[in-house]
A and B are shown apart, each in its own frame.
Chain A
C-alpha cells in the first residue's frame, strides 16, 4: 500500500506514481497475483468451454448449433431478452427518476425493494411465481377459468427474467441522477420546455452512458439466467427451453460437445458485452467519467 503521508502530499495525479513507494518485487507479486487469479477463474474456464465445444470437430459444433431444439432455444432466449430488457428500461428510468428527482414518503423502502432481487436466490424468485400462478397457487384457479397461461410458458419465463434483472438499470441510474440533481431540468423548464422535452433532451443525454451500461448488464443477465427460469419453464423442448436450460439438458444427456457448443454462444455473448463496454469506455471515457462521476 502507498504510504498515506507521502500520498497526501502529492498535489497532482501525475506525480502519484512517482510517490508510490512499492519495491519492484512487491509490484511484480501484486501483478502476478491479479493476473493468476483472473487467469484461473476467468480465462481458463473460458478456454475449456471453447475447447470442449470443438472437441468433436467443427461440423459437430455447427450441427449442435443448428439443430431445431437449439435454434428454438436461441430464439426463445432472444425473445425473452427483447421483451424484458425494454420493460426494464422503462421501469429502471421511472424508478431512478422518482427516487433521484422527487422527495416522497417511502423512498427508502422503494430503494430497498429494488435491491430485493439481488438478495433473493433466483430459485426462490421462480418459486414465488409458481406459488402465485401455479394451478394450486393464489391466482391459479382464476387464471385457469379465464384461459390465461402464464406458468410453464413464455409469459412465466419473461416474468421471472424481469424479476431477476430489474435492479440492473435502476441501480446504474439512481446514483447518477442523484448526483446530477435537478438543476439542468429546472433550467430547461424555465426556458419553456415541457416535462417530456426536459426528459428527452436534458435528462436522457445526461445519463445515456449509465443507461447503456445498465442495459448491457441487464441483457447479459436476461440471456444467462438459469435458476428462476428453470423453475417456471416446464422444460418443453422447442417451446420453453432457453439457452442456459438447454445447456444443462444436453450435458445431462451425455452430449457434452453440444452442451459446450451452446455454452460457447453464451460465453460469446458475455465477450461481446465486455468488448462493447470496453469500446464505450475507450471512446467516450472522458464523457463517461464526467457524467458517471468517477
Chain B
C-alpha cells in the first residue's frame, strides 16, 4: 500500500513539474486551424538558419486561440487568418494598438482570397459571383455567424454587388439574400463545409479561401474538382503580431521579431506560395504566377472603411448580416 501511495505521489509530482518552462530561445506560435504544413516547413527553415532556437506550434480556430491567449496561453507570436481576432487581443491589452505598423504590408506577409471550387468539367458553368445567385446553382459555404472563412465570403459577395449595382444598397441586399437562399446547408466551419461539398456531394460550388482549395484537391483528387477564380474578390489578410505582454515576460521579443520578419524573406515567401498562399515578394509571386490566376482584389479598407466599421454595420446583432441571413 505504501508503495502504491508513493507511486501516486510521484505521479502527482510529475504532473506539477511537467508544465513546460520557457526560455529566450523558444517561441510559441499560436496559429490558425489549417496552417500546420505551412508552419512545419517555415519552422524547419527558420531553425536551420538560427540553430539553437525552437518553435512550438499551436493550431486551432483563431477566435478560440485569441480567447486562449487572453486566458493565459503563453503564445509569443500569433499568425492568424483573421484581423478581428488580433483586434480582440488588442482590446484585452495584450497587443499594442498599432500592431499593423510593426511589420510590412499591414503586418500580413501573405494573403489569400475567397475563391470557388467546382466539380470536374464545371457542369454548371460557374465563372463569377453573379452565377452564384442563379436559380439552378447550389452554393456551399459555412455559417458566417460562426466561421471567419464564411465572413470573408459574405464580404466578398457584398463587395462584388456594391460594384455591380453601383452602390444601390437595396439591390446589394437582394443579391446577398439570394446568395444565402442558394445555400442548402450552413455548416459551422470551413472544414465541415468542405466535407458537405466533397463527401456528401451536395452543391455545385464551394466557396472558401484559395489556399484551402489546394488542400481539397490534393486530398480528394485533382481530377474531381476545378478551381475557378472570380473576376474580383476580397483581399484576405493573414495577419501576424507579437503578443507584447507574453514576449516581454518571456524575454523573447527579439526572437519573435526575427521569426516574423523571416516570413517576409524570399525563403519564407517561397514556402508560403508552395502552400497555396499568395506571396507579397514580387520575385516569388512571378515564379508561381501560373498557379495563382490574375484577380482584381478589393480591400476591406477601401470597400467597407475598415474592420471596426464592418463589425458595427454588418456583424453586430441586427446588422446587415442578420438582415440578409435571416432567421435560419
Report chain A residues within 8 Å CB of B11: 82-83, 86-87
Report chain B residues within 8 Å CB of A153: 18-20
Query: How many of chain B's residues have a CB under 8 angstroms from any CB in A?
Result: 34
Partner of A140, one of B58, B68, B72: B72
Partner of A158, one of B15, B60, B70, B220: B15
* Listed residue (B7, B14, B20) with the most chain A CB atoms within 10 angstroms of its CB: B20
C-beta contact mask, A84-128 vs B, less than 8 Å → 1, else 0?
001100100000000000000000000000000000000000000
Question: For the complex, is B171 an interface residue (Cβ under 8 Å from A)?
Answer: no
Question: For the complex, is A49 an interface residue (Cβ under 8 Å from B)?
Answer: no
Residue of B nearest to A249 (CB): B59
Report chain A residues within 8 Å CB of B60: 235
Question: For the complex, is A253 an interface residue (Cβ under 8 Å from B)?
Answer: yes
**Are A236's CB and B57's CB within 8 A?**
yes
Question: For the complex, is A262 an interface residue (Cβ under 8 Å from B)?
Answer: no
C-beta contact mask, B59-78 vs A, less than 8 Å → 1, else 0?
11000000010111110000
Question: For the complex, is A41 an interface residue (Cβ under 8 Å from B)?
Answer: no
How many CB-defined contacts (below 8 Å) exist between A and B?
94
**Are B71's CB and A253's CB within 8 A?**
no
* Listed residue (A144, A149, A153, A235) with the most chain B CB atoms within 10 angstroms of its CB: A235
C-beta contact mask, B204-225 vs A, less than 8 Å → 1, else 0?
0000000000011011100000
**Are A136's CB and B71's CB within 8 A?**
yes
Residue of B nearest to A82 (CB): B11
Q: Which of A228-260 contact B (CB under 8 A)?
A: 234-240, 249, 251-256
Q: Which of B32-40, B122-130, B145-153, B289-297 contacts A (4 or more CB under 8 A)?
A: B32-40
Query: How many of chain A's residues have a CB under 8 angstroms from any CB in B?
Result: 39
Report chain A residues within 8 Å CB of B164: none
**Are A252's CB and B8's CB within 8 A?**
no
**Are A236's CB and B58's CB within 8 A?**
yes
C-beta contact mask, B302-322 vs A, less than 8 Å → 1, else 0?
000000000000000000000
Question: For the complex, is B12 an interface residue (Cβ under 8 Å from A)?
Answer: yes
CB distance from A240 to the nearest CB of B (A): 8
Report chain B residues within 8 Å CB of A148: 19
Report chain B residues within 8 Å CB of A217: none
C-beta contact mask, A190-203 vs B, less than 8 Å → 1, else 0?
00000010001000
Report chain A residues within 8 Å CB of B191: 251-252
CB distance from B53 to the nearest CB of A (A): 15
**Are A134's CB and B8's CB within 8 A?**
no
Question: For the complex, is B156 an interface residue (Cβ under 8 Å from A)?
Answer: no
Instruction: Report if A155-B59 is in contact (Cβ < 8 Å); known contacts: A86-B7, A254-B216, A256-B219.
Output: no
* Complex Cα gap A200–B57 (Å): 47
**Are A253's CB and B19's CB within 8 A?**
no
Q: Which of B1-41 contact A (CB under 8 A)?
A: 1, 4, 7-8, 11-12, 14-16, 18-20, 28, 33-34, 36-37
Report chain B residues within 8 Å CB of A154: 15, 18-19
Partner of B74, one of A83, A137, A152, A235: A152
CB distance from B164 to the nearest CB of A (A): 33
- Beyond A239-B56, A251-B191, 20 additional contacts (C-beta under 8 Å) are A83-B12, A83-B14, A83-B15, A86-B4, A86-B7, A86-B8, A87-B11, A137-B71, A150-B19, A151-B71, A152-B68, A152-B71, A153-B20, A154-B15, A155-B16, A234-B68, A234-B73, A235-B60, A249-B59, A255-B219
A–B Cβ pairs within 8 angstroms, 19 of them: A79-B18, A87-B8, A87-B11, A87-B12, A137-B71, A140-B71, A144-B72, A151-B71, A153-B18, A153-B19, A155-B15, A155-B19, A234-B68, A235-B59, A249-B36, A253-B36, A253-B37, A254-B219, A256-B219
